Amino acid sequence: MNVENFEVELTEIARSIGAHSVACIRMDNPLLRERISENNTLVSDWLQEGLHGEMDYLERMFSAKSDPWKTFPFAKSVIVLCFTNDWGDPAATHPFPIPESEALLGYVSAYATAIDYHRNGQAMLLKLRSELGDDFRAEAAVDTKAVYERLFAIVGGLGIVGGNDLLRVPDRTNVRVFIGCLFVEAELPEVILEPKMPFACDDCLACIKHCPTGAIKFEQPIDARKCISYLTIEKRSPLSQEEGAMIEDWLFGCDECSVVCPPRDKVDTRIPIDLEWLLKSPAGELRRLIKGNATAYAGVTQLRKNAVVILKQKDTARARAMLEWVRKNSGSDLIHQQINLW
């Protein structure tokens, strides 16, 4: 790659591999050190307040995240990619069967379309790495390693943090992008953009207004314990009745704070799931179906636990009959704990 024309070539490569935007930051950038130091204080306070719920891995990863120079000691530069992974694209496909019109339904977030974004992002970074050459060390991270990906994207000028704590990019009709970082041993020229946002988040607050549980509050850290995505994906213990009411009919994730950014009429991007199909299909068959899909992170038992919660709230004869079938046929201790909790 031509160093003298690095920004143009890097941008062209990023687009050719399907990325939305790209930046490159030197690891000795003083702004990077300043932002990470500031963020470490915020995250430390957030963890101490217990707002991360059962996500104990965030505590374990904090030390490594807080010091990328120690975590990636070889790295002299980091390339940051944003990519959409078809999130929010009406034409995007998913592996789930279309429910019958009378089916009891739960819903999966729209980002569980196409291939799992972790795998897609890794593939993009591997392609990028091959374009850079093989004469130096490189390590990729897509929401699987101890990296503040969003912070690197912000320092690189790829966007700003929205009120919902997601990266908001300037030239898309929605906020829905994922982030990948490639830490490289080479001293590369910096490519840092200036995000020109059409309006400030403070002038909107649509994500805060539309959060159904109050997990998002203005200029306050998000309380993950009230976030539907946390409750349906990360909280692996049974849900209390109050938590069950929070998730409503969500099986996996939540789109409420993302579909309204930028402010517009709410669009239903959810993926409908037949709860009877989810609960009665062989577990092995379901695992094969969701392999490579974002829902595989939660796993079949977690999805079924959430299905039980949704059915308990419906409180209809059909829902009660389905719960009784689960009680008699499920071999999962977690599922039985959830049925019997309230």
Phi, psi torsion values for 248, nearest 5 degrees: 55, -115
Positive or negative: CA dihedral 301, 303, 305, 308: negative
pLDDT, tens digit, 9 for 90 and up, residues 315-339: 899 999 999 999 999 999 999 999 9
Contact call for residues 100 and 107 (beta carbons, < 8 A): no
Q: Over the stretch 44-99, which tens digit does the pLDDT of each residue have?
A: 999 999 999 999 999 999 999 999 999 999 999 999 999 988 877 777 889 999 99
Whether cis (ω within 30° of 0) applies to the bond prior to 95 is no
**Claim: this prediction has a pTM higher than 0.75:** yes
The domains of the chain are located at 3-88+112-199, 203-341
Q: Are 163 and 262 in contact (CB under 8 A)?
A: no
178-184, strands of its sheet edge to edge: 21-26, 77-83, 178-184, 138-141
Per-residue pLDDT of 262-313, as tens digits, reads 766 667 889 999 999 999 999 999 999 999 999 999 999 999 999 999 999 9
Instruction: Say how far apart CA 26 and CA 161 lie, in whole Å.
Output: 21
269/273 Cα distance (integer angstroms): 13
Q: What single letter denotes the amino acid at residue 286?
A: L
**2.40.128, 1.10.3470, 3.30.70, 3.40.109: which CATH number matches 3-88+112-199?**
3.40.109
* Residues paired with residue 82 on neighbouring β-strands, in sequence order: 21, 179
Q: Is 171 a catalytic residue?
A: no
The residue with tokens 């203005």 is 218
* Given the residues 67, 89, 143, 165, the one annotated as active site: 143
Q: Which amino acid would we find at residue 189?
A: P
In single-letter form, the type of residue at position 29 comes to N
